[in-house]
Structures are given as structure tokens and as C-alpha cells.
Amino acid sequence: MTNRVVLAYSGGLDTSVCIGWIAEQTGAEVIAVAVDVGQGGEDLETIRKRALDCGAVEAEVADARTEFAEEYCLPALKANALYMDRYPLVSALSRPTIVKHLVAAARKHGADTVGHGCTGKGNDQVRFEVGIQSLAPELKCIAPVRDYGMTRDKAIAFAEVKALPIETTKKNPYSIDQNVWGRAVETGFLEDIWNAPIEDIYSYTANPATPREPDELVITFESGVPVAIDGRKVTVLEAITELNKRAGAQGVGRLDMVEDRLVGIKSREVYEAPGAIALITAHQELENVTVERELARFKRGVEQRWGELVYDGLWFSPLKRALDGFIETANEHVTGEIRLSLHAGRAWVTGRRSAVSLYDYNLATYDSEDVFDQSLAKGFIDLWGLPSKIAARRDQRA
């Protein structure tokens, strides 16, 4: 029986060439799998037909936008996940979604190998292969660009010789990855980290410096899940999509950063994530209102570790699964409404309310309604500071 390889297929030059390249190098039949996580562009049927025209024996396409939003973006929102305190894990979240479909296709079609189009310098090769190993340790992985030195020039030449139905002459100066949660742009002139981004690279966001009226909205959460905008019920996908448009129109969510890649190099990345940044901003503030202090303090450390695990390709790891349980529990009371103002590239909170709020006006106020017993403060301070006081006396004697 001929060996089969399931290939993560985007419809672009590299993965289109990979179909024939893999067949020539390994003698295997190739099954192309395209997964829509909101990257836009061509429709899935066009991509499926192209894969078949490029030599795939079978081609599958999946609209995974709702799955991606509910099973991957939502956990990131509940975790307030920002790698290096800034990056909302745009590409890192989509890879395990795609991996799940690749593994399912491999088992369905009897493939023993899964292929992808990643290079040897990036994070995605790790995310794909570790994810595949975690779900199906019996499967092998192949990466033609990395493993067989399939450079772009070679890919173009191969496509021309084989008369593949794909554009081979136009080269975008940037490497772009986008989905429902955001958009990532790198390479080209951006590799000189002194160069400022130009307006042409942006797609999800308008120029924040352009004068315009602010946009104010109210987001309703139930146990950490966004369920309504301005009183109108929404799904998670609808919430992200609407905020991508509204926050993006105000220039919210632009990031320009040098980040630490898993493979050990630093990389300059430009991101647009208007919906993600707006939702995380609102969710964090509602946590401030509804989550008890010690739980909130501990959760901040968990959030950082959770984000690092996802960035590093360990979505399916035991530690990530265990932290998921903690994050779900911590979100149990994150219910209420947050009013956001979107303007000039910023999303900031202007109001918050919750039926399960831990904010007590009568304890917080300095007016006549104050019920806080200030006479308790002195004894509390004395006891709280006693260990430090004892240590200070010791140090003075020494």
C-alpha cells in the first residue's frame, strides 16, 4: 500500500508546490487539508480544487472559525493571555486548531506522516510537530521547506516546470499570518528594527492619528465569556468579529515589538489585534471587580505561564491542561458589564457593574456613608509589620 502524507495546505505557492515535492521525494500520496480560522482571502472550495489540480489525491477543507473562537480564543481571553505582556498569541492559537484537523485527517485516510510548510527558524514548526506528537505520537512529520531546502526560487521553478495553477511571479515583501484573533506581519524592511512601520502594512486597523469621534460600547460577560455587546446577544465569534471592526476603526490593537522566539532568536513582529486587545482590556477590569485579591494575584502568574506554554507550542501538554482547570475556576464569578471607550488607538474602561461585585461602596467611600471601622487599622498594621520590625531590630544590633 502506498504511503500517505497529510499536508497542512494554505493554497499559496509554497504549500501548493509541497504537494508535488513530497510526492517526488517520498513516493507518497498527498492529502491536502485546509482549515479556515478566519484568514480571509479565497473561498474554501477554490482552495480545495487548487490542491487537487496541484496533485493531491484528496483534499479536505474545514470552516473552523467558530471552533477557533470558542475553543482557542476564549480560553486565551479568560487567561488574559499576552506573551511578554503584549502579544495576544495570534498565530500560536491557530496552530493547535489546525493540528487537530490534520491528525483527524491522517487517521481518516490512513496516513503515517503529516507535513507542513514551515521553515527551520520559526515557532510554527514546533507548534505543529509537538502538537501532532501530543495527539498522535505514532505519526511522523515532514517539512519540505526545512528538510529538503525548498527555497522560494526552487518552489517557483518547480511550479513553472509542472505548470501548477498558482501565481509564481509576484512576491509580497512581507510574511503575513492572520485569523479571527489578529494579524501578524514580519520580514521585508521590518527586519531592520530601526525602521518604523508604514501605514501600508496594516489591514485590520485604521490610522489612530486620524481625527474621528470616539466609539463607546458595553460588553456583557458571563463567567468570563462575552455574551452581549450593547445589550445584543452575541456568540464568541461574533463578539471578536464586531470588536475587530469597531476597535479596528479606531486604530486599537497595533503592536510593534521585538519578541523572544522559542528557537532562541529575537524577531521583530508587527501585530494588529483590535478585538483581542479590546476584549482582554474589558475582561481584566471585570476581574478586578469580581475576583478576590489572593486569587487574582496568583492568577496573574498563571496567566504568564499559560501564555508561555501556548507560545511555545505546548497547547496539548499536561501542565497547560491543568492550568486550564484553574483558569476556569477563577472565571466562575467574572460576570457583569464593562463600558469601553475606543478612540485614538486606545481602549479604556469608563464604567463597570456586576451583581457579584466585590466592590462595596460603603466600605470604599470617604463620605458620611462610610462603614469601615478605621480603629481596626492600627492593630492590623502593627501585626502585619511585626516580622519586618523584628528583623530590623536584629539588623541594628548586628
Residue 124 marked in a binding site:
yes
Residue in 53, 175, 339, 352 annotated catalytic: 175
Residues 351 and 354: their CA atoms lie apart, in Å, by 11
10 labeled part of a ligand binding site: yes
> What gap in Å lies between CA 353 and CA 212, rounded to an integer?
28
CB 281 within 8 A of CB 271: no
124 among known catalytic residues = yes
Q: What is the pLDDT of residue 32?
A: 97
- The 10s digit of each residue's pLDDT in 139-188 is 999 998 898 888 778 878 888 887 788 775 556 678 889 999 999 999 88
- Predicted confidence at residue 13, as pLDDT, reads 85
pLDDT number for residue 172: 64
Q: What is the pLDDT of residues 49-69, one digit of tens each?
A: 999 999 999 999 999 999 999
Distance (Å, rounded) from C-alpha 140 to C-alpha 136?
Answer: 9
Could you tell me if 103 and 132 are in contact, meaning their C-beta atoms sit under 8 angstroms apart?
Answer: yes
Alpha-carbon gap, residue 262 to 266, rounded angstroms: 9
* Known catalytic membership, residue 175: yes
Q: Which of 365, 308, 285, 241 is nearest to 83 (CA)?
A: 308
Share of the chain above pLDDT 70, in %: 98
Mean of pLDDT over the chain: 94
Which of the listed CATH numbers 3.30.930.10, 1.20.5.470, 3.40.50.150, 3.90.1210.10 matches domain 361-397? 1.20.5.470
Q: With helix as H, strand as E and coil as C, how does 155-201 read?
A: HHHHHHHHCCCCCCCCCCCCEEEEECCEEEEECHHHHCCCCCCCHHH
Which segments of 61-189 does DSSP mark as H helices, in order?
65-68, 74-78, 90-109, 124-135, 144-147, 152-162
pLDDT in tens, 4-53: 999 999 988 889 999 998 988 899 999 999 999 999 888 999 999 999 99
16 is in an annotated binding site: yes
Model confidence pLDDT, tens digit, residues 257-275: 999 999 999 999 999 999 9
CATH superfamily of 176-291+333-353: Argininosuccinate synthetase, chain A, domain 2 (3.90.1260.10)
**Domain boundaries of the chain, sorted by first residue:** 4-171, 176-291+333-353, 361-397
Name the packing angle between helices 236-248 and 274-290 (round to 10°).
110
Q: Which one from 50, 91, 94, 124 is the annotated catalytic residue?
A: 124
4-171 CATH? 3.40.50.620
- The pLDDT value recorded for residue 169 is 55
Tell whether 243 is in a known binding site. Answer: no
Which of the residues 4, 50, 95, 346 is marked catalytic? Answer: 95
Instruction: Using pLDDT thresholds of 50, 70 and 90, give the confidence band for residue 1.
Output: low
What integer is the mean pLDDT of 195-217?
Answer: 97
13 is in an annotated binding site: yes
